[in-house]
Structure 1
Amino acid sequence: MSLYDYEVKTIRGENTTLSPYKGQVLLIVNTATKCGLAPQFKGLEKLYQEYRDQGFSVLGFPSDQFLNQELAEDSEIAQACEINHGVTFPLFAKIDVNGSDAHPLFKYLTEQAPGLFGSRAIKWNFTKFLIDREERIVHRFAPKDTPAKIESSLLKVLSPSR
């Protein structure tokens, strides 16, 4: 199954797949608006604004699996992201990223790109997966890896040396 075949629901409740992002460089992130790492939203938005014209998208997937740090309703999440953090990059409906109810997309991501010491579990909010235009997971970034810190890796994927 291709990454682009996974069914997802937008933050507005529309069913879709990731196929509109085929051929783009993606940064898939599990997010939480009430997390201490939520200031990363601004850095993610900055990356999105700066590089989207080069075929880059940030895809945010809210999750409430880490100390209840996400709002209850998708509409509240969308509003908080837009008003408090200026988010315009695509957001999706709240999902589980770990456990038996983990969304199939995150099961795929964690199988393909295990974390430290081979762990497949997402350890915290703002774990990030950088995916190249050929659908390869280039890097899994830890929650504390800020968008500014990962920008150099993003640039290498956006403009690979030939």
Structure 2
Amino acid sequence: MLYKIYKDIGSGTRKNGRNGYIEMMHDAKKHRFDIILVKSLSRFGRDTLEALSTIKSLKKMNVALLSEVEQINTLEVNDTVLSILLAAAQEESASKSENIKFGIHQRMRSGKAVLNHTRFLGYTKDETGKLVVVPKEAEIVRKIFSLYLDGNRVRKIKRYLEENGIKTVTG
């Protein structure tokens, strides 16, 4: 029977800031489950030493980590095999990260914006993907900036926009 689904928003390279991960380990210590199912070891932890340490702790609690991609049960494999699999997962994660960074830098060099322009006041993208100023929205951006430079805080600026019927891209 499924006990709970734990999730995190983050890189997975360190357990700090991974509230779901921390909660899962807390529940494991309380023996609330005996199996953790993950898609892949790279999704469980991307730092080899930290993931290996966590898996060793789980083994001591007799909690198995089952990985779909690698088709392993951590209670059935030795630490050497596990270390190799975790190192490969860490390298895969690092490689993906570098590829993403490379793609972002290439788009920047070519002048293509890397942002969600549909909710970005003052700009849109043209058919080639380059940022283009939206003159009417740019006036609003200039006014907001001017109000800020005059010492107004967010609430005052918001009030000014509302009182003058000025809407942001989200309404």
TM-score, scaled relative to structure 1 = 0.24
Structure number having the greater strand percentage? 1
> Highest CA radius of gyration, 1 or 2?
2
Structure number with the higher helix fraction is 2
- What's the TM-score once normalised by structure 2's chain length? 0.23
